[in-house]
């Protein structure tokens, strides 16, 4: 019986550690002292916990598409802010104001999103109360 209890406890510890590792600290991944402003077309939306992800193609300075991924808040938070899983559709042109990843990848934490209908909505980001610094 003791070995079964040990295996059960070890399994629970492993699951807890995996969930904790999957949810990251804003400050560890994103730079709150910089901002990124993106205009692009939605290529994919992942509406799932713990955060939604919006993928979009943004044209670089030469007109070539760059693939960006932007993290938003939890679906529940976004729903309370007027979003639904159908708010963004593939091909929609949107504007995202957010915080870039510290590692230089084409990743950001979205703060606000301007939707195709002109509404600007809070993206429910991990650091949603932080305001981007003005240049």
User: Which has more pLDDT, 122 or 22?
Assistant: 122
Walk me through the domains of the chain, giving residue ranges and CATH numbers.
25-122 (2.40.50.140)
pLDDT in tens, 28-68: 899 999 999 999 999 999 999 999 999 999 999 999 999 99
Q: What is the mean pLDDT of the chain?
A: 83
Could you tell me the pTM of the whole model? 0.75
Residue with tokens 């910089």: 34
Q: What was the pLDDT predicted at 134? A: 41
Q: What was the pLDDT predicted at 57? A: 98
Q: What was the pLDDT predicted at 135? A: 40
User: What residues contact residue 37 under an 8 Å CB cut-off, 6+ apart?
Assistant: 95, 96, 97
């Amino acid at each position: 019986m003791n070995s079964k209890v040990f295996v059960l406890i070890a399994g629970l510890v492993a699951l807890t550690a995996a969930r904790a590792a999957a949810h990251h600290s804003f400050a560890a991944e994103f730079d709150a002292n910089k901002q990124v402003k993106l205009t692009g077309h939605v290529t994919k939306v992942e509406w799932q916990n713990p955060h939604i992800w919006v993928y979009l193609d943004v044209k670089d300075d030469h007109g070539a598409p760059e693939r960006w991924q932007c993290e938003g808040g939890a679906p529940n938070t976004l729903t309370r802010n007027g979003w639904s899983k159908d708010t963004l559709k593939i091909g929609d042109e949107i504007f995202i104001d957010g915080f870039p990843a510290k590692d230089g990848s084409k990743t950001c934490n979205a703060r606000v999103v301007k939707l195709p209908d002109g509404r600007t909505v809070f993206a429910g980001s991990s650091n949603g109360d932080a305001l981007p610094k003005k240049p």
